[in-house]
Amino acid sequence: MALVRQRFPRPRVEDPARAVKEELGRIGVERIVKPGERIALTAGSRGIARIDVIMRALVDELKKLGAEPFIVPAMGSHGGATAEGQRRVIERYGITEERVGAPIISSMEVVQVGELSDGSPVYMDRHAAEADGVVVVNRIKPHTDFVGRIGSGLMKMITIGLGKKEGATLCHKLFFKYGFENVIRWVAREVLKTGKIKFGLAIVENAYKEVARIEAVLPEELERREEELFAEAKKLAGKLPFDELDVLIVDKLGKDISGTGMDTNVIGRMMQNFEPEPERPFILRIVVLDLTEKTEGNAVGIGLADFTTARLVRKMDRKATYTNSLTSLGPQKSRIPLYFDTDREAIEAAFATVGIREPEECRAVHIKSTLHLEYVEISEPLLDEARGRDDLEILSDPEPLRFDEEGNLISRFDLMGV
């Protein structure tokens, strides 16, 4: 396989703190937030670039107005669905009281703030509901469970994050009847009607996991503007260099890579009940070799693969994996596929099940993870296509995959330190 570097669009916010200040000035925050008001700021999505800097800047600007900001963990049932667990989660993301300059008030208590047309209650974190206002902070990006005109963003943070375990559990059940996007929109609209949401702070990242845009969004513009920012986020997102493959080899999956272990938008497989599968990319066989250390045994997403290794299966924490799957009503994503004693056997099985093509004729790609897509390896049949594209730089001649004495892959990405 040949090493290739992908070139993605790279808009970048060099000074996130300054961008926050400018955005709050643009919307006239001094007319929105008054002195003495207690303002809840949401935090909860994993891996947002520079989130500690962004939250600190937001806290500082609100304090200048005489407000009293505090942080509310907003992540549905994550963190073991406990107040202390959710506090620990955001602290791991760098959002500590010392770093952002505001107290963290973590609780699983909710209050009902509205009702859907079918009578379903709409919940909000009690401390957020009792505050004078809420600022919703989140990254806008494609969701791993559905395809629509919105994804994971401000409205999802309002619906699932602020709904805590009780709201998240109810919404996941409603998804089966009404669909993900509909429920997220309906619940968010009900919360917006309360007048509690002061504004949103939307973050868009590029494919290099850098901040590409920070934008303050007024409540009355939130739904429309989120759709527009979502379209931008989709264009900037990392992707595979080809949308039709025989085999995809993935070194590692994990919750630190994606909520579904592997980003479903990258691999073109969602396995989500009552939601259509993406048309592209189309990948016939996916083989996953290992878990990341940070996933701590949570192997959610292994069911998205066709083949894996005994090493990965041994590392699985079944309790963590099953709990995650049951809470999200997606047990199918944790089914264990065929697994083999060595990487070589798992990879050979993938190539042996693509039809009449010989392995050397297959369209194959090797990646470190669905989060790391700047450098990829491609098989010889893809080289001609790659040579004709400005967004791909071929860095090496093709060479065979290398395995150690035990039959496990010596990944070029590990040797490169990427």
User: Higher-confidence residue: 342 or 148?
Assistant: 342
Pairing of strands 121-125, 211-217: unpaired
Residue 406: pLDDT band by 50, 70, 90 thresholds?
A: very high
* pLDDT for position 383: 97
Per-residue pLDDT averaged across 28-44, rounded? Answer: 98
Residue 46: pLDDT band by 50, 70, 90 thresholds?
A: confident
Residue 80: pLDDT band by 50, 70, 90 thresholds?
A: confident
Domain locations along the chain: 9-236, 239-416
Question: How far is the C-alpha of 216 from the C-alpha of 143, rounded, in Å?
Answer: 21
Residue 255's closest CA among 223, 283, 294? 294
Residue 125 φ/ψ, nearest 5 degrees: -45, 130
- Check: CB of residue 288 under 8 Å from CB of residue 308: yes
Residue 64: pLDDT band by 50, 70, 90 thresholds?
A: very high
CB burial string 375-395: b at 16+ within 10 A, e below = bbbbbeebbeebeeeeebeee
DSSP secondary structure letters along 106-146: ----EEEEEE-TTS-EEEEEHHHHHSSEEEEEEE-B--SS-
Per-residue pLDDT averaged across 23-52, rounded? Answer: 97
* pLDDT for position 340: 99
pLDDT digits (tens, 9 = 90+) for 296-313: 899 999 999 999 999 999
* pLDDT for position 146: 86
Answer whether residue 327 shows pLDDT above 80. Answer: no
- Check: CB of residue 403 under 8 Å from CB of residue 395: no
DSSP summary character for residue 88: H
* pLDDT for position 274: 79
Burial category of 314 from C-beta neighbours within 10 Å (exposed 0-12, middle 13-18, buried 19 and up): exposed
- Class in CATH terms, 9-236: alpha beta
Per-residue pLDDT averaged across 185-213, rounded? Answer: 98
Strand partners for 369:
372
* pLDDT for position 79: 80
Residues 6+ apart with CB under 8 A from 121: 112, 114, 115, 170
Residue 227's closest CA among 138, 319, 280, 155? 155
Per-residue pLDDT averaged across 51-58, rounded? Answer: 98
* pLDDT for position 326: 85
Residue 226: pLDDT band by 50, 70, 90 thresholds?
A: very high
* pLDDT for position 102: 99
pLDDT digits (tens, 9 = 90+) for 346-376: 999 999 999 988 999 999 999 999 999 999 9
Residue 324: pLDDT band by 50, 70, 90 thresholds?
A: confident
User: Higher-confidence residue: 65 or 46?
Assistant: 65
Q: Which of 66-70, 170-174, 219-223 has the lowest mean pLDDT?
A: 170-174
Per-residue pLDDT averaged across 2-19, rounded? Answer: 98
Instruction: State the chain's mean pLDDT as an integer.
Output: 96
* pLDDT for position 357: 87
Per-residue pLDDT averaged across 13-28, rounded? Answer: 99
Token code pair at residue 407: 């039959």
- Check: CB of residue 269 under 8 Å from CB of residue 277: yes
pLDDT digits (tens, 9 = 90+) for 112-129: 999 999 999 999 999 999
C-alpha neighbours within 13 Å on the C-beta side of residue 214: 29
* pLDDT for position 269: 96
Residue 235 φ/ψ, nearest 5 degrees: -65, -30
SS3 for 156?
helix
